[in-house]
Amino acid sequence: MRLLVEIDRLGSVSAAARELGMSYRYALERITVVEKRLGRSLVERTRGGKQGGGAKLTAVGYELLGDYQGMQSSLNQLTKWYIDL
């Protein structure tokens, strides 16, 4: 999920991988594995060239990220409630 967040923020798989301290190849492999399992694209990639390449999340990528962040928020609230008992 951190990779998707950074791709959204930076607009590049390469820059996101660098930010997270992983190789571009590893980052691309992780994205590809998840996309194959879901049968849907998470990231739309544009090859480099004079204008440069880039990447952006697809609607499915945003949906997955939103679902994850919602679950994380719920878990944080539950943990806080449990600690406050």
CA distances (Å), origin 15, targets 1, 39, 49, 78, 84? 15, 25, 16, 34, 40
- Output the pLDDT for position 84: 83
- Output the pLDDT for position 15: 95
Q: Would you say 20 and 30 are in contact if contact means Cβ atoms under 8 Å apart? A: no
With bands split at pLDDT 50, 70 and 90, how would you rate the model's confidence at 80?
A: confident
Residues 27-48, mean pLDDT to the nearest whole number:
94
CATH (one of 3.40.50.300, 1.10.10.10, 3.40.47.10, 3.10.180.10) for 2-83: 1.10.10.10
pTM as predicted: 0.81
Q: Would you say 24 and 17 are in contact if contact means Cβ atoms under 8 Å apart? A: yes
Residues 1-12, mean pLDDT to the nearest whole number:
96
With bands split at pLDDT 50, 70 and 90, how would you rate the model's confidence at 50?
A: low
Which H helix or E strand runs over 44? strand 43-46
